Structure 1
Amino acid sequence: MIDNASIESLKNSIDIVDVIGNYIELKKAGANYKANCPFHGEKTPSFVVSPSKQIYHCFGCGAGGDSIKFVMELEKLSYPEAIEKLASMFNFSLRYTQGSSDYSDAKRVLEAVQTWYVKNLDQNHTAQKYLADRGISAASIEKFGIGYVPSGMQVMQFLDRTMLPKPQAAEAGIIAQGERGEYYARLVERITFPIYSPSGSIVGFGGRTITNHPAKYINSPQTKLFNKSRLLYGYDVAKESIYSKKQLIVCEGYLDVIMFHQAGFSTAVATLGTALTTEHLPLLRKGEPKVILAYDGDNAGIAAALKASIMLSSAGFDGGVVLFPDGQDPADLIAKGQSDAVAKLLRESKPLIPFVIEKTIESYDLSDPRAKEAAFGQVKQFLEGLSPIIKDAYIPLAATQLGISAALFGKQTQPSRAKESFSQQKDDIGQLSILKTMLEKPDLIDSVLDVIDMEMFGSYEPLFNAVLNGPREDSRLMRILVDETIQVMSEEELERFLCNFLMRHYDKELKRIVADQHIPFAKKSFLIRKIKTDIIPRLKRGELVAYDKDLFA
């Protein structure tokens, strides 16, 4: 079992924004963060993360909780599994009262195998020569932990010799199990590139063949620790530079990253054999850098750059595109001593949106009216996915390149619809502010109860009761806590608001009493006089008047 004190230490060491930001793209919204909810399909963000309260809440589906609850729900894990997942993500060492865990064992296997791979490189001259021929220095080999994996038999012998458990080695993606239950090594006779999580915990490997295997590169399989769609090679090394320089260079391979860093371009990272996807956006967003796509200039590189540029610009990223000429990649140019040329290409990168417009239009024959119409449709669709101001700025460029009137793009801005889920009447916001103040400042609850009855809150009466009697984890209360439109009042502000609230309440009560034909004349006269000559004047003077429920029964 995991030691309880260890769990508490983990909770205190992680931030919910970092946790959820590893899974979905969060955007700053005042003191909180917003995103599209990962638990139900939606187009308008209603998922709110509160860093001050360390909770999340979805105003659409009601999901809510803390970091652990989020990982449990999204990954479909048990509580102990979610704790171990978080510990692995943030390189935190858990303590166990007895036994151990798959996560800790898998991590131990990966670390031991990495040490062995590094030692193997020193004994393999073919692998050393390949790296030297590619221009990789000894310092870079050490910095990135480059190693070598020999034959499959030697891998199995190493696991036996070091008594590393095979089931956990399979969990870590080092070996796999055949149809007859036999184990075999996944990587064989390859140069190895260890892959780390953003926090610096080893999670897998990439391998480059030196025996002309048809698969030039192979990555670790999907495991509990390794998800290639959420990782970027070299990010653990580059992140400090990314944050300080506000720049991130995305390239296509391990060697490109290593050579970029070797030449001083310390913000370079690479995807792991996959295209850039929306799952990468949370990691790319950290530090709010300008994202430069540094891809090969062949057809595949242009297609990948176009797809990534559309995704990044639609997500509000700033950045540019560099396509390396003549079929060369960044590693080749840097190895040839052309670092200055690479630096110039990066400085002159084509901005994302103009790149998308230009490359989209280039794929059509504008001399053909139907092709021109198709190009216009595709560019218009792209621009519609941008914010109104950005869209407005680029319509003239698109119109010029298409050779058409900008008016054909229609209205350049659209009036925004009111967000019904967040639009509240003034009275409603006030009542919710009272409830939020009671939640945040329990010492003021008695002051509220002295002058207000729950029934005064109408449709909010169940919420009032939940504040007094319900658990704090109640999704309705969490919704109030994370909603920035609902303010927490000071004691003085609360008194002023209660006076105004009560005056509005008694105004309505007065109209009700006057219209009610069932109230005896004598009582009606008394109540009208009481409200008009006693209660409302006192409230106007700022004096809070205790509500007498029996009087108005």
Structure 2
Amino acid sequence: MIDNASIESLKNSIDIVDVIGNYVELKKAGANYKANCPFHGEKTPSFVVSPSKQIYHCFGCGVGGDAIKFVMELEKLAYPEAIEKLASMFNFSLNYTKGSSDYSDAKRLLEAIQRWYVKNLEQNKTAKSYLHDRGVSQNSIERFGIGYVPDGRSVMRFLDSASLPRPQAAEAGIIAQGEDGGYYARLVERITFPIFSPNGAAVGFGGRTITNHPAKYINSPQTKLFNKSRLLYGYNLAKESIYKNKKLIVCEGYLDVVMFHQAGFTEAVATLGTALTQEHLPLLRKGEPKIILAYDGDKAGVSAALKAAQMLAYAGFDGGVVLFPDGQDPADLIAKGESETVAKLLREAKSIIPFVLEKIAESYDLYDPRAKETAYGAMKQFLSGLSQIIKDAYIPMAATLIGVAPAMFGTQTQPNRARESFSQPKNDVAKLSILKTLLEKPELIDFVLDVIDIKMFGTYASLFASVVNGEKEHPQLMGLSVDESIKTMTEKELERALIQFLKTYYEEKLKRIPKDTTMPSSQKVYWIRKIKTDIIPRLKRGELVASVTNI
């Protein structure tokens, strides 16, 4: 395990500008630096690096953090690996302490258990027969490291015989601890598919039952090495082809990936029992490939493909969607010798945006005026999330699909919504200035909470709560921290801002109370008199008034 003092020393010796400058071209912009975000495609720089705060934030995709977080995200590394990467970049010597929690011990354990799984497969005829019946060749079994895990007692015996501590095995996700304190194997009587990080380190396993267990597939739990929302099965084997051919095929299962590769489609990867998420996007972006979604044509597959296609469209990816017909999946077709059919389907993939538009139109009865109106709203909402050039290109298609005039989608451009800006109305700027001050000077939080309730901040209430809870890595708070247009106030300026905020708040209350149909008349009279004759006069005299939220 890396010594904590050593980690702190490394943090103090590196400059985030130097670190990120090794990966992207930074340009000076006032007190900060700017660049095109390395985590999502963009033409106008919205990625900001603050040397004074030693953090980065992208106003486009929302990522942010310190130098270590940047290396973790960009290189797809665990925290200790990122520390070691930075140390090697800056010729810094790390100190280590002994301990069973060292992440490298977990990696060694995973590698040992993987070798044992592979050995077991050779000795289990049922498991091998299943794979061969599914069309998986011996070469693919070896290439993907497919194995087999027997009963739970065998797992425990192996760990003991190999001197692999059970607590360490639990930390790596191989076993789990029950309520009685005893340990049990997470995977039993399953074919195993080892899951690797992009750089080829074993981080977890997927297991496929061959005993008709209700859970057909089980994955390793979340561990310090395994985050299923950021990993793609087979990526370590596919990345060379992805970079070379500028194409990436996303499918639904482990066997689909294995059979795709076996048939020569070596750009194939799969999500790990979860939908494609925003967290996958940086990995999908690497090498700037076209993304082909290759999903089953059943209801669940269509739904997953639609959600993934919308997300990819908003993120600016190019690519297409293939839905395999008649309830078949890629593995089935390839096993039956229909690789050319698969190749043809991939070549004829429906482009992402037309696919989304068509599926939206198909979801409604367009002969029903109300359903048609709903379809129009859904389509307009989807198009509004695209860049104006792309939106304009697809308005005629959208209009044709639901049978309305193109003019109904509007001709005026909206600003690109990808960039989250803090250019707000005056009252919003005041609220953000208060939040930024509390972010920079947390010792003033109690002072503010004495006079303002979090709910009084309206749309910024959740952001206020994040400040109070010290969630400094909240994406919007990071953006607020590096936004030079929002001012950090002195304590005196903060007091004046609070008085003005409260005046505005109670003046608005005065306008709304008479219209409130839920409030008894007697209460209305009381609160109107209280605000007019007590609260607002005190505020005008420069006196802070404790918040009143039970109006």
Q: Same fold (TM over 0.5)?
A: yes
Q: Quick one: distance in 2 between partners of 1:108 and 1:114?
A: 10
SS at match of 1:228: coil
Contact 1:90 1:199 in 2 (8 A): no
Q: Quick one: distance in 2 between partners of 1:59 and 1:241?
A: 29
Distance 1:295 1:118, change over 3 A: same
Residue 222 of structure 2 corresponds to residue 222 of structure 1: yes
Q: Quick one: distance in 1 between partners of 2:23 and 2:364?
A: 44
Partner of 1:379: 379
SS at match of 2:288: coil
Q: Please give the residue correspondences for 1:58-73 in structure 2 after superposition, counting only pairs within 5 Å.
A: 58=57, 65-67=66-68
One-letter code of the match for 1:399?
Answer: A
Partner of 2:337: 337
Distance 1:125 1:15, change over 3 A: farther
SS at match of 2:255: helix
Partner of 2:181: 181
Q: 1:45-73: per-residue Cα shift (whole Å, max 9, x none)? A: 954359x99x743488997642268869x
SS at match of 2:106: helix
- Residue 282 of structure 1 and its aligned partner are, at CA, apart by 1.1
Distance 1:169 1:300, change over 3 A: same
- Residue 102 of structure 1 and its aligned partner are, at CA, apart by 3.2
- Residue 113 of structure 1 and its aligned partner are, at CA, apart by 0.2
Partner of 2:56: 57
Q: Please give the residue correspondences for 1:408-419 in structure 2 after superposition, counting only pairs within 5 Å.
A: 408-414=408-414
Root-mean-square deviation (Å): 4.2
- Residue 402 of structure 1 and its aligned partner are, at CA, apart by 1.1
Q: 1:33 aligns with which of 27, 32, 37?
A: 37
Distance 1:143 1:69, change over 3 A: closer
Contact 2:35 2:45 in 1 (8 A): no
- Residue 137 of structure 1 and its aligned partner are, at CA, apart by 0.5
Moved more, 255-264 or 89-98: 89-98
- Residue 350 of structure 1 and its aligned partner are, at CA, apart by 0.2
Distance 1:59 1:333, change over 3 A: closer
SS at match of 1:328: coil
Contact 1:177 1:183 in 2 (8 A): yes
One-letter code of the match for 2:343?
Answer: A
Partner of 1:151: 151
Partner of 1:356: 356
- Residue 278 of structure 1 and its aligned partner are, at CA, apart by 1.0
Contact 1:32 1:49 in 2 (8 A): no
**Which of the pair has more CA radius of gyration?**
1
Contact 2:176 2:186 in 1 (8 A): yes
Q: Please give the residue correspondences for 1:279-428 in structure 2 after superposition, counting only pairs within 5 Å.
A: 279-414=279-414
Partner of 1:197: 197
Partner of 2:80: 83
Q: 1:320-365: per-residue Cα shift (whole Å, max 9, x none)? A: 0000011000000001111111000000000000000001001111
Q: Quick one: distance in 1 between partners of 2:358 and 2:2?
A: 56
Distance 1:190 1:95, change over 3 A: farther
Q: Quick one: distance in 1 between partners of 2:107 and 2:68?
A: 22
Distance 1:288 1:213, change over 3 A: same
SS at match of 2:37: strand
Contact 2:136 2:258 in 1 (8 A): yes
Distance 1:416 1:156, change over 3 A: closer
Partner of 2:516: none
Distance 1:338 1:45, change over 3 A: same
Partner of 1:513: none
Q: Quick one: distance in 2 between partners of 1:205 and 1:91?
A: 30
- Residue 103 of structure 1 and its aligned partner are, at CA, apart by 1.1
- Residue 83 of structure 1 and its aligned partner are, at CA, apart by 2.9
Distance 1:87 1:215, change over 3 A: farther
Q: Quick one: distance in 2 between partners of 1:111 and 1:146?
A: 13
Q: Please give the residue correspondences for 1:201-212 in structure 2 after superposition, counting only pairs within 5 Å.
A: 201-212=201-212
Residue 240 of structure 2 corresponds to residue 240 of structure 1: yes
SS at match of 2:312: helix
Distance 1:117 1:361, change over 3 A: same
SS at match of 2:154: helix
Contact 1:16 1:67 in 2 (8 A): no
Q: Please give the residue correspondences for 1:417-456 in structure 2 after superposition, counting only pairs within 5 Å.
A: none
SS at match of 2:48: strand
Given the two structures, how large is their TM-score scaled by the length of structure 1? 0.65
Q: 1:149-186: per-residue Cα shift (whole Å, max 9, x none)? A: 00100000000001101111000000000101000000
Q: 1:416-443: per-residue Cα shift (whole Å, max 9, x none)? A: 7999879xxxxxxxxxxxxxxxxxxxxx
SS at match of 1:230: coil
One-letter code of the match for 1:248?
Answer: L
One-letter code of the match for 2:201?
Answer: S
Q: Please give the residue correspondences for 1:17-32 in structure 2 after superposition, counting only pairs within 5 Å.
A: 31-32=35-36
Contact 2:36 2:45 in 1 (8 A): no
One-letter code of the match for 1:66?
Answer: A
Q: Quick one: distance in 2 between partners of 1:212 and 1:104?
A: 35
Contact 1:47 1:57 in 2 (8 A): yes
Distance 1:239 1:31, change over 3 A: same
Residue 130 of structure 2 corresponds to residue 126 of structure 1: no
Q: 1:358-377: per-residue Cα shift (whole Å, max 9, x none)? A: 01001111111111111000
Q: Quick one: distance in 2 between partners of 1:370 and 1:241?
A: 48
One-letter code of the match for 2:309?
Answer: S
Q: 1:87-116: per-residue Cα shift (whole Å, max 9, x none)? A: 599999987354454312211111100000
- Residue 262 of structure 1 and its aligned partner are, at CA, apart by 0.3
Contact 1:34 1:46 in 2 (8 A): no
Q: Quick one: distance in 2 between partners of 1:184 and 1:377?
A: 51
Contact 2:192 2:206 in 1 (8 A): yes
Q: Quick one: distance in 2 between partners of 1:189 and 1:420?
A: 53
Residue 45 of structure 2 corresponds to residue 48 of structure 1: no
SS at match of 1:229: coil
Contact 1:34 1:48 in 2 (8 A): no
Q: 1:393-451: per-residue Cα shift (whole Å, max 9, x none)? A: 000000011111000111242367999879xxxxxxxxxxxxxxxxxxxxxxxxxxxxx
SS at match of 1:364: coil
Partner of 2:270: 270
Q: 1:129-156: per-residue Cα shift (whole Å, max 9, x none)? A: 0000000001100000000000100000
Gaps of 5+ in 2: 25-32, 424-477, 484-551
Q: Quick one: distance in 1 between partners of 2:421 and 2:272?
A: 42
Contact 2:35 2:48 in 1 (8 A): no
Given the two structures, how large is their TM-score scaled by the length of structure 2? 0.65
Contact 1:333 1:339 in 2 (8 A): yes
Contact 2:234 2:269 in 1 (8 A): yes
Contact 2:80 2:103 in 1 (8 A): no
Distance 1:136 1:175, change over 3 A: same
One-letter code of the match for 1:302?
Answer: V
Q: Quick one: distance in 1 between partners of 2:416 and 2:164?
A: 60
Q: Percent identity?
A: 69
SS at match of 1:288: coil
One-letter code of the match for 1:214?
Answer: P
SS at match of 1:148: strand
Contact 1:230 1:280 in 2 (8 A): yes
